[in-house]
Amino acid sequence: MRAIFNEELQQVADDLIAMASAVHIAVDRAGQALFSQDIETAQDVIDGDKAIDALEHKINDQCVTLLAKQSPVATDLRIVVSTMSIASLLERMGDLARHIAETSRSTYPDSPFVPRIADTFTRMQSFALTTTQTLTNLVKSHDEDAAQQLIINDDVMDKLFESVVSSARNDDWDATTEQIINTVLLSRYYERMGDHAVSVARRLVYMVSGFDPTKDPSRFIGVDGDGD
């Protein structure tokens, strides 16, 4: 029974790693679509989101089957429950990569964002790319320290988002309303991606330690809420 459980759990774990990796690739391509106005790559990201959604469904089914057949407890139970949460968060990160690609496509061949914000978007993209690579490693390694490091960095995206809003207030953007809207939405997509990545890291800490860092933020530096 234990051998079967471990085998089935490994299958779910492999699918979760595949899902994190697919999200990382989607983020990479969405950035390419955004910065190079590469409409074919944008379309690939949009079309590819279905495969990420399908992985979430598969993982959920596997987890419910594991719960029903194996009745796991303690760490095993935490792994199964956390895997469902993490899959749901990764699915939303995939959606956000798709939204970035859709926004790029919507203004093709023009860039969707206000040119003077380009540097901020470059930093957001770079952070999203590093973060999704870290998540892919984390769902493999279950490295609690690395997860906590990601949680500590949780406000990088928020600060970049705030800098966009602040720049819009204080600088002369010399932009169309459509550019302003796309700039705000794109920066919001990146910010949400950062929030979801932190939530994944928190679930991983819970999975490994049984401790939920959202409940007693004082135990962790830089944990101050749930985003939305």
Residues that bind a second copy (CB under 8 A): 53, 57, 63-64, 67-68, 71, 73-74, 77-78, 81, 84-85, 88, 91-92, 95-96, 98-99, 165, 168-169, 173, 177-178, 180-181, 184-185, 188, 192, 212, 214-215, 226-228
Among 127, 67, 60, which Cα is nearest to 90's? 60
Among 33, 31, 26, which Cα is nearest to 50's? 26
Cα–Cα distances in angstroms (integers) from residue 201 to residues 56, 150, 213, in the given order: 18, 7, 10
| CB neighbour class for 117 (10 Å; exposed up to 12, middle 13-18, buried from 19) | buried
Closest to a second copy by CB, 3 or 73: 73
Min separation Cβ 165 and a second copy, Å: 6
Residue showing tokens 């469904």: 57
Closest to a second copy by CB, 95 or 154: 95
Closest to a second copy by CB, 53 or 143: 53
CB-CB contact of 139 with 17 (8 Å): yes
Min separation Cβ 68 and a second copy, Å: 5
Min separation Cβ 185 and a second copy, Å: 6
Query: Can you state the angle between helices 74-106 and 118-141, rounded to 10 degrees?
Result: 150
3-state SS assignment for residue 175: coil
Closest to a second copy by CB, 36 or 65: 65
Min separation Cβ 180 and a second copy, Å: 5
CB-CB contact of 153 with 222 (8 Å): yes
Min separation Cβ 163 and a second copy, Å: 13
Closest to a second copy by CB, 177 or 218: 177
